[in-house]
Structure 1
Amino acid sequence: MKSIKVFAPATVANVVCGFDVLGFAVDAPGDEVIMRLTEKPGVVITKIEGDGGKLPLAAEKNTVSASVQHYLNHIGCNHFGVEIELYKKMPIGSGLGSSSASTVAGLFAINSLLDNYLTPMDLVPFAMKGEELACGFGHADNVAPAVLGGFVLIRSYEPLDIIKLPVPKGLYCAIVFPDVDVPTRDARQMIRSKVLLKDAVIQWGNIAGLVSGLFMNDLDLIGRSMQDVLVEPTRSILIPDFYKLREMAHEQGAISFGISGSGPSVFAFAKDEQTAHNITNKIQQHLTGLHINSNAYVSAVNEQGPKIIG
């Protein structure tokens, strides 16, 4: 019997202006999976901890097991079985890629147990199957950075074309997760299906500016480019005092500020670790004044992605 323990990171999707096409990984939080190969065929989940009873144990309904089954079917390995233990180390519904972290941990584990039969890039479509199960749409802006680490750009979904982007030196991310409920499916349904051409032009310029800033190691250009005129105006309604939080983050030295994924987590880029801590402290103090509990995380951009921890 072979077994392995794997960690996969949380991610920040969209990166403000890049809806469904940009994302990056962070060092914390993340999820852990213990996986064992067994003689009896089939994929089963034997334990889930840290989810408060929210996640299904049924293999066909859980993103981890379902993605692993897709992987095994693809490579034609059905003569053995897989047992999975899932340990949720990050909040569900946080906008930090919770389902993505679990799914990627499972796929990285099975691929490692099978001597890395597929490349990390090849794992992304299987992780997207998990996202489809979790929220109805198989987007890659969480799973791609969780698998590959660092910043990624999804240039195209059909065909899938993913590009790794450089990570500027000294860039830190400050994340605050307010304890309010913003389901991903509901947040996606709020988004307009049509946009004005003038707004699209603004958005295109900002995405190009952000990508250019990453390549040029230009933090000021990154900050100027991280503006969203398409999605944020709608989704910000779901986050208490969003614009006040943004103002406070900039007062503390933030390069930029925005919603992580579908929210309610918010994040800011900072030029150093201490500034990032100052931002999270200030935002948490304000949320406490609103009688809202919160979790905070400060991290550099995680360039490794998933890793074996046991």
Structure 2
Amino acid sequence: MNSVKAFAPATVANVACGFDIFGFAIKEPGDVVELRRCDEPGIVIADIIGDEGRLPRSAEKNSVTGVMLHMLKHLGIKDFGCEVVLHKNMPLGSGMGSSAASAVAGVMAINEMLGQPFTRQELLPFAMEGERIASGSAHADNVGPSLLGGFVVIRSYNPLDIFTIPVPDDLYCTLVHPDIEINTKDARFILKNEVSLKNTIAQMGNVAGLVAGLMKSDYDLISRSMVDVIIEPVRSILIPDFKEVKQAALSNGALGCSISGSGPSMFALSRGLENANNAATAMRARFAQAGIESAIHVSAINQGGAMILTD
């Protein structure tokens, strides 16, 4: 196989109460990685389109190629060579799983080119290395859903235990990205190292409620459970007019609304496409009142995850 092209979708991580343990994929946007075999051993970044020159061109320091080198080392392959073109179709520092999408598209592409030596589940630890390269933390709540699709739960990191749960067919996500940027490392730095017993109990109840609500298609339970008493109160101060934008979503049909990943993107879950679109319009209008432009994506939950593209 001389060339491969792979797509990996954007994701929403944390999903309000599920910090570092919940995530789901949406249908668009997403990153695309192209690989072309070459005679010289080694991985070379031929081009990155859409990053405005901000991402590293060194193969070891870029999340899309760093994971490929990690896979090749694991397999003991030393004579493999290819050129990489990365199409960045989502903004950096967006809270939409940008680095995760690049890493997942990278592992999907090279796994295909090598004849699929790994299953999707086995690709997860390699994709997580891309997150370590990008942010210093090998979390799975973005790479998991981007790779596997659906709504993902990370039960444990050591050992890695990750699975998907069913969600209602009529559940839609509204993802709004304001034209500001929050660095993932900074968003993690401001978090407290200790949590009160009271908040821990409340958060555990909401986590259990959200899982049960999704699996039972109980929209009222989903709505009641989308409450984050630990992370959102701290990180929301980084997003201008957060409370007002959240209230705009809730007042226009959304079941719940919170921060997507580390922000600044915000997401809402709604029952039905009409409610999701209404929430999108209201959220964008409220950001506009604050003088902030924003991009909107409305999508059902992406059940398929990353894919190999055929011309």
TM interval, short-chain normalised: over 0.9
Q: Secondary structure at the match of 1:255?
A: strand
Contact in 1 for aligned 2:150/2:303 (Cα 8 Å): yes
C-alpha distance in 1, partners of 2:246/2:303?
26
Task: Spell out, residue by residue over 1:11-54, the C-alpha distance to the aligned partner (whole angstroms, 9 max, x if none).
Answer: 00001101001100000111111112222211111000100111
C-alpha distance in 1, partners of 2:35/2:274?
37
Matched residue type, 2:201: V
Q: Is 2:14 aligned against 1:14?
A: yes
Task: Spell out, residue by residue over 1:160-216, the C-alpha distance to the aligned partner (whole angstroms, 9 max, x if none).
Answer: 111111121111000100111211100000110001001000001111111111211
Q: Secondary structure at the match of 2:36?
A: strand
Task: Spell out, residue by residue over 1:274-296, the C-alpha distance to the aligned partner (whole angstroms, 9 max, x if none).
Answer: 21111111111121121111111
Q: In the TM superposition, what are the counterparts of 1:62-77 in structure 2 within 5 Å?
A: 62-77=62-77
Q: In the TM superposition, what are the counterparts of 1:143-162 in structure 2 within 5 Å?
A: 143-162=143-162
The residue that corresponds to 2:256 in the other structure is: 256
C-alpha distance in 2, partners of 1:20/1:82?
33
The residue that corresponds to 1:30 in the other structure is: 30
Task: Spell out, residue by residue over 1:243-285, the C-alpha distance to the aligned partner (whole angstroms, 9 max, x if none).
Answer: 1111111111001100000000000001111211111111111
Matched residue type, 2:96: L
Q: Secondary structure at the match of 1:67?
A: helix
The residue that corresponds to 1:206 in the other structure is: 206
Q: Secondary structure at the match of 2:6?
A: strand
The residue that corresponds to 1:57 in the other structure is: 57
The residue that corresponds to 2:113 in the other structure is: 113
Matched residue type, 1:298: V
Task: Spell out, residue by residue over 1:200-233, the C-alpha distance to the aligned partner (whole angstroms, 9 max, x if none).
Answer: 0000111111111121121211111110010000
Per mean C-alpha deviation after superposition, the further-off stretch among 20-29 and 271-280 is: 271-280
Q: Which runs of 5+ in 2 are unaligned?
A: none
C-alpha distance in 2, partners of 1:246/1:286?
9
Q: Is 2:306 aligned against 1:302?
A: no
Runs of 4+, deviation exceeding 6 Å: none
What's the CA shift for 1:117?
1.1
C-alpha distance in 1, partners of 2:183/2:80?
36
C-alpha distance in 1, partners of 2:192/2:68?
34
Per mean C-alpha deviation after superposition, the further-off stretch among 264-273 and 112-121 is: 112-121
Per mean C-alpha deviation after superposition, the further-off stretch among 32-41 and 84-93 is: 32-41
What's the CA shift for 1:113?
1.5
Q: Is 2:218 aligned against 1:218?
A: yes
C-alpha distance in 2, partners of 1:277/1:41?
49
The residue that corresponds to 2:194 in the other structure is: 194
Matched residue type, 1:244: E
The residue that corresponds to 2:280 in the other structure is: 280
Q: Secondary structure at the match of 2:133?
A: helix
How many residues are aligned here? 310
Per mean C-alpha deviation after superposition, the further-off stretch among 106-115 and 60-69 is: 106-115
Q: Secondary structure at the match of 1:53?
A: coil
Per mean C-alpha deviation after superposition, the further-off stretch among 280-289 and 47-56 is: 280-289
The residue that corresponds to 1:165 in the other structure is: 165
So what's the TM-score if we normalise by structure 2?
Answer: 0.98
Contact in 1 for aligned 2:92/2:181 (Cα 8 Å): no
What's the CA shift for 1:77?
2.1
What's the CA shift for 1:115?
2.2
So what's the TM-score if we normalise by structure 1?
Answer: 0.98
Q: Secondary structure at the match of 1:102?
A: helix
Q: Secondary structure at the match of 2:57?
A: coil
Cα RMSD of the aligned pairs, angstroms, is 1.0
What's the CA shift for 1:78?
2.0
Matched residue type, 2:142: N
C-alpha distance in 2, partners of 1:235/1:26?
23
Matched residue type, 1:43: I
Matched residue type, 2:39: E
The residue that corresponds to 1:175 in the other structure is: 175
Contact in 1 for aligned 2:241/2:290 (Cα 8 Å): no
C-alpha distance in 1, partners of 2:232/2:81?
44
Q: Secondary structure at the match of 1:162?
A: strand
**Percent identity for Structure 1 against Structure 2:** 52
